Structure 1
Amino acid sequence: MGISSHRFIQIKLLIMYLNFKKSAEVDKIFREIDGFDLVAWNCMISRHAQSGDLEEACRLFEKMPDRNAITWTALITGFMKSRKVDDAVWYFERNPFQNVVSWTAVISGFVQNGLVCEALMLFYRMLHSGTAPNEITFSCVLGSCANTGNFGLGMGVLGLIVKTGFEGDVSLSNSLMTFCLRMGDRDLAMRVFNDMEERDVFSWTAVLDVYVEMGELTEARRIFDEMPQRNEVSWSAMIARYSQSGNAEEALKLFSQMLYDGFKPNISCFSSVLGALASLEALKIGMNVHNHVIKIGIEDDVFIGSTLIDMYCKCGKTEDGRQVFDLISSRNIVSWNSMVAGYSYNGQFEEAKELFQRMPMKNVVTWNALISGYVQNEHCAKVFDVFDDMLLSGAVPNESTFSSILRACASLSSLEKGKNLHGKVVKLGIQHDVFMGTALTDMYAKSGDIESSMRVFDRMPKKNEISWTAMIQGLADNGLAEESILQFEEMLKTAVLPTELTFLAVIFACSHCGLVDKGLKYFESMKNVYGIEPRERHYTSVVDLLARAGHLDEAEDFIKKMPFQPEANALAALLSACSIYGNEEIGERTAKKLWEMEKENSSGYILLSNIYASTGRWSDVSRVRRLMREKGLKKSGGCSWIEVRNEVHTFFVGGGSHPLSAETHRILDLLWSEMIL
């Protein structure tokens, strides 16, 4: 059309090409502009400053015959973005056009560079200079107040916001909500949200964070579903919360929906999803997510790498986890810990220790990774050696460390070691921690000291569902079934809701004191009252409940009506009861099912043999024993242990592996001869 040389058109073309980062076209148009044009020069300075080419920006700035507020602010913003704060301040102090935009640029730059105190001091100067702040200034200052924890100053700023009439601004209201949340005043944050006449996606995301931070997942999901718009942050917040709360399936459903709706996950979102996949041991989906991560080029990110390592190792693929670890160019202690924990979790302790020795630095999480691995793989005796090394290294154990060590004590019934650890916990002042109290309650109960267990439990200032379950189970395991049921009834009076494990413990207690009707009532209430779907273990417990009480027909009928194939333990429980009550008919049917399910297990043969023996059917006893011999099955040997001077000694029937076995047998022979005499 022949109008490309028109000044107005040239400036618009220049801005368009700058926005699309077309350097060649930008330079061509800039050269074609006749004479000096302030707008064009400002555009060029802004372009170079924002891209980090400050040398060229300064060269153009010095050549300019004339400048305005935009010129100075563009240069100041560029220096702040490049973290050259002193240079930015130097230009600001010499700026003859100090207006609200230039003041805000420096305040914002201070906040972005972590200099929140300097930002607040400059804000004071701005007010004294007579320059009125705008909504962006107030947002930056509120961020500074939140970072310094200065709630009083923030409330003063709120007063200024109302006084200057900016309280209706959406962006500023969002900043105010964020400030209130950072200061822990959720009620005020909700009041700000409810008073907003107009809301955007950030407003809804901020209020979503309120419920997410409070842990009120149901209410957070309601807000999420009501949001007229969502962004990556709101999706990530919900996915992370579901993953952290143990609801991995729902986290994955949301992630799929997020992708379907066209949103791009951020690093935080991928980390949450991979964490959910790790807990589900969903290797195939995890590999698909890994491929997605590679496609968008963030596989080298240290946080993504750490969660990938964790996912592969939880799925038993330590080689793949190690491959990810080796590809991380800039490893931090989190990635090292993830790999050590992965090896340890899978029982590959040689590889774990080799990597442990190579670590440039270690923290308490590193030691905990080794300790928890030994506990999970039932190498409890090794745990104490690692714990001693940890103490010698100068590392201070935390609640997680003691929780794992106490689990080892409980597994070995090592009461003395447990008491010593309890003393260390008290010295560190962490005995009132809910997880610590739970671990101590469990340790004492499993070591047979139920009185100490109850004392620890009663002294806990706060109890959660795990604490109550540990106490209920501990009482039941120690033969105090009625007390266990009473404890469960006490729990129901509190605000703490029972879990799957709680019901497992209380049904077990009912089984051991013959309270069939009560046990069945608790089982029915799982789904009808608490919305908990019973699992195989709960059905097995009900079979045991009925069978122990002699209700063998009901137990067999209950097995037939199960919504899934019964566990071997359910059949074994019924078969054991048949042995006690001498019911050959049900016993034979159950034994056949158990043999089909577990062909290499001798328990079914032994129990049926006992049934025949109790009724004098010796030929059938011989037949069952002959079947065992033909299949090469043997009754597993018994095992016992004793703790002497803080050392646990284990003995097996017919075994001679203990280093003092010969000496022990000599003493036993001597005692036996003395007893005969």
Structure 2
Amino acid sequence: MLVLRMSEEGHRPDSITIVSILPAVADLGLLRIGMAVHGYVLRAGFEPLVNVSTALLDMYSKCGSVRFARVIFDGMDHRTVVSWNSMIDGYAQSGDAEGAMLIFQKMLDEGVQPTNVTVMGALRACADLGDLERGKFVHKLVDQLKLDSDVSVMNSLISMYSKCKRVDIAADIFKNLQNKTPVSWNAMILGYAQNGCVNEALNAFCEMHSRNIKPDSFTMVSVIPALAELSTPRQAKWIHGLVIRRFLDKNVFVMTALVDMYAKCGTIHTARKLFDMMNERHVITWNAMIDGYGTHGLGKTAVELFKEMKKGTIKPNDITFLCALSACSHSGLVEEGLCFFDSMKKDYGIEPTMDHYGAMVDLLGRAGRLNQAWDFIQKMPIDPGITVYGAMLGACKIHKNVDLGEKAAFEIFKLNPDDGGYHVLLANIYATASMWDKLAKVRTIMEKSGLQKTPGWSLVEIGNEVHSFHSGTTSHPQSRKIYDYLETLVDEIRAAGYVPDTNSIHDVEDDVKVQLLNTHSEKLAIAFGLLNTSTGTPIHIRKNLRVCGDCHNATKYISLVTRREIIVRDMHRFHHFKDGVCSCGDYW
């Protein structure tokens, strides 16, 4: 360092020297050297100088020592707006968004006028908190300060509204924004993707591409997850090709997104090939691959990969354990899951979150250990949330346990969920047990509360088009053809041994029950796919809900009689149907 050479040559660093070297120390994260410089500042009597103190608090903030930064900040007799900005940014960078907002409010209370840097720090804090009201307050401040022509500020507004679930406002800001930068496009594409607006994200990406604005790694990391949600292999290959042409195939985060995308598009083997080709892997790379194996029902492979990861230098985090527990749950690997859960805190010092507890209940419940699962819930060190009781209720539905199902549902309803799906689960438990009076009560509660079951839909991509089907759809141009073919197909699979499961349908005659089953969205999508693709072509279906028992059984028989591979991605996992067998082993 030049400053050491300066000292060796007998020159005493002055305050200007200190202010010059501290930003370099901050950028490199050299806390120990920063503390040594701080010691020199105290000995030299430079601490009362506002520029020196500001540089010190900025250094401590960027080196992750916000507590020390705050001590310096509180001890300053005079503060510039840069001092306030550094403190706000320090809290925001450290993950203490509430702390950042408190400093921001204190700044306003003391009459210090914010700059563009100030409001960007405050907007980031609002985004992290998901605090729409305070975000709107900062937006008004932006207008008052006439910062609406600052593209960086407007980009921060786009990100804030997107994270606060108001992507519609973000889109309006983006639409009216003059002189959009690549960061603007990235913020909008990511905003759409984060809010489940997959088509809008892809449309924005295509428009960006058409305007010859070159995508960077941030663009790709934003748009690739949107493609993953569509679960269409053709578009996955297209975006992969674009990554290669843009020379971004060495970027660890872009490649991780591709691994995750291929896994979510049903091509788990391609995901593993990319994983193995990567020279550098981040913890999220391992998480994506482990989770991919879990959702494809390859629990043992997921466990093997997790064990391989633990031998390396990259340590598993809380998400890694969640992915491993989920993989064990989907494959019935109870003992392995129990070991992983114990290892979290004992070996890695990771405190389980509500999601981990939910995964454990799911693991035990799916395996039929309902009493053990309920006992696990009773002994939790934190109050169980909806996800925990929801996992218990789902397990009770699978194993037809009315008593524990009622207990779990009662706890869920006390937490007042907006999702009517939990009421439907309880209703199905009662129906299976022929408890019609209780079933009627649940339906009455749903009607009075205005709760409804989420409508089911299925997607299938043929050529360059994605076709959507809802249960009982008649609006599709090929509807008549689809229903005629489906009628013939059902006759064929019945001859092969298929028996309709009508247990989940009530209050109608048996022949109507069968008719209703045959209009489920995934059956319509599968029939359409079979009609419009050549023999031997695999069919990829995307479904928004869990595959029902009847459709799962029917699809096994359809794969047998048509000799087609049918890949269904539901809300939880993948089902690979081939030759009358499903990859999940009927354990889902």
- Do the two structures share a fold, i.e. TM-score over 0.5? yes
Helix, strand or coil at the partner of 1:492: helix
Deviations 1:361-419 (A, max 9, x none): 22210111111111111111111211121112221110111111101001111222221
Aligned to 1:557: 375
Inter-CA distance 312–214: structure 2 relative to 1 (3 Å threshold): closer
Helix, strand or coil at the partner of 1:382: helix
- Contact 1:438–1:466 under 8 Å retained in 2: yes
1:240 aligns with 2:101: no
| Counterpart selection for 1:324 from 141, 148, 151 | 141
Helix, strand or coil at the partner of 2:13: helix
Aligned to 1:171: 13
Aligned to 2:548: none
Deviations 1:595-629 (A, max 9, x none): 22236543344333443444454554455445545
Aligned to 1:402: 220
Aligned to 1:663: 477
Aligned to 2:107: 292
Spell out the pairing of 1:378-393 with structure 2 (5 A cutoff): 378-393=196-211
- Consecutive unaligned residues of structure 2, counting only runs of 5 or more, are 48-52, 493-588
| Counterpart selection for 2:131 from 298, 315, 330 | 315
Helix, strand or coil at the partner of 1:529: helix
- Consecutive unaligned residues of structure 1, counting only runs of 5 or more, are 1-138, 144-154, 176-201, 243-249
Inter-CA distance 238–646: structure 2 relative to 1 (3 Å threshold): farther
Inter-CA distance 599–388: structure 2 relative to 1 (3 Å threshold): closer
- Contact 1:411–1:446 under 8 Å retained in 2: yes
Q: Which amino acid aligns with 1:451?
A: H
- Tell me which moved more, 340-349 or 637-646: 340-349
- Contact 2:22–2:34 under 8 Å retained in 1: no
Aligned to 2:531: none
- Tell me which moved more, 601-610 or 527-536: 601-610
Helix, strand or coil at the partner of 1:532: coil
Aligned to 1:523: 341
Aligned to 1:364: 182
| Counterpart selection for 1:461 from 279, 296, 309 | 279
Aligned to 1:598: 416
Spell out the pairing of 1:128-139 with structure 2 (5 A cutoff): none
- Tell me which moved more, 616-625 or 662-671: 616-625
CA distance in 2, matches of 1:226, 1:517: 54
- Contact 2:263–2:292 under 8 Å retained in 1: yes
Structure having the larger proportion of residues in helix: 1
- Tell me which moved more, 258-267 or 440-449: 258-267
Aligned to 1:509: 327
Between the aligned residues of both structures, percent identity stands at: 29
* Alpha-carbon distance, 1:450 to partner: 0.5
CA distance in 2, matches of 1:648, 1:272: 48
CA distance in 1, matches of 2:266, 2:194: 22
Which structure has the greater CA radius of gyration?
1
Inter-CA distance 266–561: structure 2 relative to 1 (3 Å threshold): farther
- Contact 2:275–2:289 under 8 Å retained in 1: yes
* Alpha-carbon distance, 1:437 to partner: 0.7
CA distance in 1, matches of 2:256, 2:184: 23
Deviations 1:410-454 (A, max 9, x none): 111122222111101101111110111111011111111101111
1:572 aligns with 2:390: yes
Helix, strand or coil at the partner of 2:336: helix
Helix, strand or coil at the partner of 1:510: helix
Inter-CA distance 266–546: structure 2 relative to 1 (3 Å threshold): farther
Inter-CA distance 400–607: structure 2 relative to 1 (3 Å threshold): same
1:541 aligns with 2:356: no
TM-score (ref. length: structure 1): 0.63
Say how many residue pairs are matched: 477
TM-score (ref. length: structure 2): 0.71
Inter-CA distance 267–587: structure 2 relative to 1 (3 Å threshold): same
* Alpha-carbon distance, 1:570 to partner: 1.3
Spell out the pairing of 1:47-446 with structure 2 (5 A cutoff): 166-167=8-9, 169-171=11-13, 202=18, 213=27, 229=42, 231-242=53-64, 251=66, 253-262=67-76, 270-271=84-85, 273-275=87-89, 276-277=91-92, 282=97, 286=101, 288-292=103-107, 295=110, 297-299=112-114, 301-312=115-126, 314-317=130-133, 318-329=135-146, 331-346=149-164, 348=166, 351-446=169-264
| Counterpart selection for 1:497 from 295, 315, 330 | 315
1:642 aligns with 2:460: yes
Helix, strand or coil at the partner of 1:473: helix
Inter-CA distance 599–384: structure 2 relative to 1 (3 Å threshold): closer
* Alpha-carbon distance, 1:637 to partner: 2.4
CA distance in 1, matches of 2:59, 2:281: 27
CA distance in 1, matches of 2:438, 2:150: 66
Measured on the aligned residues, the alpha-carbon RMSD in Å equals 3.6
CA distance in 1, matches of 2:14, 2:74: 32
* Alpha-carbon distance, 1:456 to partner: 1.2
Deviations 1:108-162 (A, max 9, x none): xxxxxxxxxxxxxxxxxxxxxxxxxxxxxxx9xx59xxxxxxxxxxx9xx5xx7x
Q: Which amino acid aligns with 2:61?
A: I
